[in-house]
C-alpha cells in the first residue's frame, strides 16, 4: 500500500478546472473594466478646456527636476520625524492604555489624567497641536526647554498620536478573554506580571494591523510641521512654487510620500491576512 500514490477524483479535477476558469474569467473582466475606466478618465481630463494650463502648472518636467534635490532633502526630515516619533508613540500608548485598565482605587487620579489626555488630544486636530506647541512653548521662555521647531513639532506629533494609539491598545487589552487573566492568577502571577506576560503580548498581537495603519497616517501627517516653518518635503515644494509660480513640486512631494506609505500599507494588509489565517487555523 505504501507504493500507491493519491490522485484526485474526476469530480475533483472538474471542480479545479471550473475554479481555474472562473478565476481567469474574473481576472480578464476586472482588467478590462479597469483599463476602460482609466482610458475614459484620461480622455475626460486631457480633453477638458483647462488641460493645457493644468499640464503647464502641475506637470512641468523641468520644474520637477529643478525642485527634486530640495524636496528630497526636506523629505529626510519627514523620515526622521517618523522614525523618532514611532517608538515614542508606542511607549506612550501602551503606558496610557495600561493605566486606564487598572482597577486600584489608589490610581484613580492617574486614570483620570489618562482619560483626560486621550479625550483632549483626540478632540484637538493634530495641526492645531503642532501650531500650539511650536508657537506657544518658545513664547513662555522657559529655562532649559528647547525652542527647536523640529523637536517641538515632534513632541506635538507624539502627544497627538499617542492618544489614538492608547485607545487602540486599550481595545486590544479588553479583547483578551477573562479566562486568560484567571488562569494567570491561578498560577500566582501578580497583576503586574499578568499584564506584562499574559495580557499585553496577546493584545499587541491582535491590534498590530490597526497600529500599523496609525503609523502609516503618521508618516503622512509629518507634513503638518510645514505649517510652522519646519523645512521638510511639503515646505520645500511650497517654497519652490511660491517663487516660480509652478506647483509641479507638490506632485513630486506627493510621490515621495506615496513611495513610502504604499509599502507600509501593503505590509499592514499582509499582516492582517496572516492574523486571520492564524485565527482560522490555516
- The C-alpha cell of 2 is what? 505504501
**Host domain of residue 174:** 66-280
Residue 180 · residue 199 · CB < 8 Å? yes
Residue 80 · residue 177 · CB < 8 Å? no
pLDDT of residue 225: 93
- The C-alpha cell of 161 is what? 498620536
Cα gap 60→58, rounded to integer Å:
6
Q: Check whether residue 240 and residue 202 sit in a common domain.
A: yes
Q: Check whether residue 32 and residue 75 sit in a common domain.
A: no
Q: Check whether residue 192 and residue 231 sit in a common domain.
A: yes
pTM over 0.85: no
pLDDT of residue 4: 64
- Which residue, chain included where needed, has cell 508618516? 219
In a domain, 58, yes or no: no
Residue 72 · residue 256 · CB < 8 Å? yes
Q: Check whether residue 180 and residue 114 sit in a common domain.
A: yes
pLDDT of residue 282: 56
In a domain, 271, yes or no: yes
In a domain, 59, yes or no: no
- The C-alpha cell of 107 is what? 490610581
pLDDT of residue 54: 86
- Which residue, chain included where needed, has cell 509641479? 248
DSSP 163-185: HHHHHHHHHHHHHS-HHHHHHHH
Question: What string of pLDDT tens digits covers the 282 residues of the chain?
Answer: 455 677 778 888 888 888 889 889 999 999 999 999 999 999 998 888 888 888 888 888 999 999 999 999 999 999 999 999 999 999 999 999 999 888 888 888 999 999 999 999 999 999 999 999 999 999 888 888 888 999 999 999 999 999 999 999 999 888 888 888 888 888 878 788 888 888 888 888 888 888 888 888 898 999 999 999 888 999 999 999 888 889 999 999 999 999 988 888 888 778 777 777 776 655
Q: Check whether residue 129 and residue 80 sit in a common domain.
A: yes
- Nearest to 228, CA basis, from 136, 163, 124: 136
Cα gap 247→227, rounded to integer Å:
17
- Nearest to 217, CA basis, from 75, 85, 71, 77: 85
Residue 200 · residue 209 · CB < 8 Å? no
pLDDT of residue 102: 83
CA gyration radius, the chain: 26
pLDDT of residue 236: 92
Q: Check whether residue 185 and residue 217 sit in a common domain.
A: yes
Cα gap 60→47, rounded to integer Å:
18
Amino acid at each position: 500500500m505504501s507504493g500507491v500514490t493519491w490522485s484526485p477524483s474526476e469530480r475533483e479535477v472538474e471542480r479545479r478546472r471550473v475554479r481555474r476558469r472562473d478565476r481567469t474569467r474574473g481576472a480578464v473582466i476586472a482588467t478590462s473594466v479597469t483599463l476602460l475606466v482609466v482610458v475614459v478618465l484620461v480622455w475626460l481630463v486631457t480633453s477638458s478646456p483647462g488641460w493645457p494650463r493644468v499640464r503647464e502648472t502641475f506637470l512641468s518636467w523641468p520644474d520637477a527636476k529643478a525642485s527634486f534635490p530640495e524636496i528630497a532633502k526636506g523629505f529626510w526630515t519627514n523620515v526622521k520625524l517618523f522614525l523618532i516619533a514611532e517608538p515614542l508613540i508606542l511607549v506612550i500608548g501602551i503606558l496610557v492604555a495600561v493605566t486606564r485598565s487598572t482597577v486600584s482605587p489608589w490610581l484613580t487620579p492617574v486614570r483620570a489624567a489618562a482619560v483626560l489626555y486621550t479625550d483632549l488630544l483626540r478632540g484637538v486636530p493634530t495641526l492645531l497641536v503642532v501650531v500650539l506647541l511650536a508657537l506657544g512653548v518658545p513664547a513662555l521662555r522657559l529655562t532649559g526647554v528647547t525652542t527647536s521647531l523640529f523637536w517641538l513639532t515632534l513632541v506635538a506629533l507624539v502627544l497627538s498620536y499617542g492618544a489614538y494609539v492608547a485607545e487602540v491598545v486599550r481595545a486590544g487589552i479588553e479583547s483578551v478573554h477573562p479566562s486568560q487573566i484567571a488562569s494567570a492568577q491561578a498560577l500566582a502571577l501578580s497583576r503586574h506580571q499578568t499584564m506584562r506576560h499574559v495580557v499585553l503580548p496577546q493584545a499587541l498581537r491582535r491590534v498590530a494591523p490597526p497600529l500599523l495603519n496609525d503609523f502609516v497616517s503618521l508618516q503622512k501627517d509629518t507634513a503638518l510641521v510645514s505649517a510652522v516653518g519646519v523645512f521638510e518635503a511639503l515646505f520645500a515644494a511650497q517654497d519652490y512654487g511660491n517663487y516660480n509660480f509652478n506647483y509641479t513640486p507638490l506632485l513630486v512631494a506627493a510621490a515621495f510620500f506615496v513611495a513610502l506609505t504604499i509599502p507600509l500599507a501593503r505590509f499592514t494588509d499582509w499582516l492582517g491576512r496572516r492574523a486571520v489565517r492564524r485565527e482560522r487555523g490555516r
